[in-house]
Chain A
Amino acid sequence: MRVLHHPILGDAPAARAVTIHVDGRPVQALEGEMIASALTAAGIKRFRTTSRGRDPRGIFCAIGRCTDCVMEVNGRPNVRTCVTPVEAGMTVNTQVGLGVWK
């Protein structure tokens, strides 16, 4: 959910909408925001599943330190979505285990 009006921060600054593709589906994002933000705003919480247990994982530290939020971005696995900005047309896929290295 986006916080559009905030008592201290004020109104959210206007930003251009861009489309990214998450597991093949188009998702609206805001230019310049982090992939993890766009997904959170779209209600997506599960970003990847683990190698052995196939357990769901998502954001943990949100500052690019813990690597829990990694996904396959434009074909490359292990991308930290909380510190990587979106780009128009980007493909973001749920990473399964260690992903597929293309």
Chain B
Amino acid sequence: MQKADVVVIGGGAVGTSAAYHLARRGRKVVLCEMRNIASGATGRCGGMVVHCYGRELNIEKTDLRLMYTRASTRIMREYQKSFEIDFELRQVGCLDIAIDEQEFEGLKELLRIQRSLGDTEIELLDKKQTLEVMPNLNPELIAGSRLRRSDGNLNPFKLARAQALEAQKLGAQIRTQTRVEKILLSGGEVQGVEVADGVIEAPHVVNAANGWAHQLTPGLETIPVRELAMVTERLPKLPPQPFEMLCLGDFAYGATQTASGNYNLGGPGPARPPGYDYYDERIYVDEVYRVMSYIAVIFPKLAEVSVIRSWVGTMAFTPDAMPSIGPMPGAKGLFIAAGYPDGMAWAAVSGKLAAEHICDGRTSLPIDHLDPGRFLGQPKVRWPQPYDLTVCHDFLTRERALKHAK
């Protein structure tokens, strides 16, 4: 039997952030990770930091996104001043590329919304300007783009490890290969968690298990989404921007060049037949070809580059594409920080908000819009089957405005 002030479930960027910020506030933290630090989406993503992910034409959500992610980046810059491990945060900018006129019109509309919120940083680039910023792109695929210069990328392994290390220095215990079987509740109050070798008693639990969060907290509407990624051999520095692109209608795509020069590309797995396992971490040869063929189309010059590794990971979406951050209704002491398809831009602030809520009972930024209970009592979300990221995108932008639980 172990006792702690807080048990954090999940050793990715968000979980380790929570462990760090809680340890900093003097709480005795035990972090339980079923595999190893950054074994989930954190260790399988592109490490991109995108402040305003997606193209939803929703003014309220855009405003919120910018608020949280900007706060998160400020926290990461604070980290850089004192953390032992350098997690290679490079704010080199990120392009969101429109491949045809229709998409470009969509981007223009999105920019209008962003500008109306006082976002002066976001830029709209036409085709020529886009190619000036990133000459290696295939000109036939570009109608225009938007650019945010404070976007960029980081090394997600190092971010998670950096936060974990600093948490440990402040007394947190990181238990890897420790799967939480159950969050223990009694009379609607958190008692702790059950792990293989017994129980860890704690009045507070943070569920930061992202793709697996809903398995531990029924009623939490996060769905796992399977994404593919691959990494190339080290290449000399191409013009620097990471980019996101919706490509050819059924493949939302991103690419980034890491600090060491490798190109990291990825996108959602193509929809597979019924019975599709969103947790299947094996990659299939047709998926490899698909990603490789897109590389060749997007970057004609990279057609000859060697891909050294390919893999699959599971991240999570919520019905309105905003993460769930906050106390779970009906479970006093349970704090949720899950449902991130764009986690690297949110991890630092998520942990801080968890620590603030647990220690002070209030948060420095409002989180009622991210209430994990906001989907309770709603008709059960009927996700199209099988779903992939683009299906999600369509589904989300068509159907869901931001929901409040109140």
Contact = CB atoms under 8 A, between A and B. Distances in A.
B303 to A, nearest CB: 12
Interface in A82-102: 97-101
Nearest to A77: B236
Contact of A98 (B236, B301, B304, B306): B236
A76 interface: yes
B101 interface: no
B304 A99 contact: no
**Which residue of B234, B236, B301, B304 has the most chain A CB atoms within 10 A of its CB atom?**
B236
Contacts of B238: 101
Nearest to B302: A101
A49 interface: no
B302 to A, nearest CB: 9
A78 interface: yes
B321 to A, nearest CB: 36
Interface string A41-59: 0000000000100000000
Contacts, number: 19
A75 to B, nearest CB: 11
Contacts of A78: 233-235, 306
Interface string B159-200: 000000000000000000000000000000000000000000
Interface of A is mostly: loop
A51 B236 CA distance: 10
Nearest to A78: B233
B106 interface: no
Given A77-B236, A78-B233, A101 B261 contact: no
Contacts of A77: 236
Nearest to A101: B236
A76 B236 contact: no
A98 B263 CA distance: 13
Contact of A97 (B233, B236, B304, B306): B236
Contacts of A97: 236
B56 to A, nearest CB: 36
B304 A100 contact: no
B301 A101 contact: yes
A101 B304 CA distance: 11
Contacts of B237: 98
A76 B305 CA distance: 10
19 contacts: A51-B261, A76-B304, A77-B236, A78-B233, A78-B234, A78-B235, A78-B306, A97-B236, A98-B234, A98-B235, A98-B236, A98-B237, A98-B261, A99-B236, A100-B236, A101-B235, A101-B236, A101-B238, A101-B301
Query: Sorted from nearest, which 10 A-B pairs have the closest CB atoms?
Result: A98-B236, A101-B236, A98-B261, A98-B234, A99-B236, A78-B233, A100-B236, A101-B235, A98-B235, A101-B301
Given A51-B261, A101-B235, 17 more contacts: A76-B304, A77-B236, A78-B233, A78-B234, A78-B235, A78-B306, A97-B236, A98-B234, A98-B235, A98-B236, A98-B237, A98-B261, A99-B236, A100-B236, A101-B236, A101-B238, A101-B301
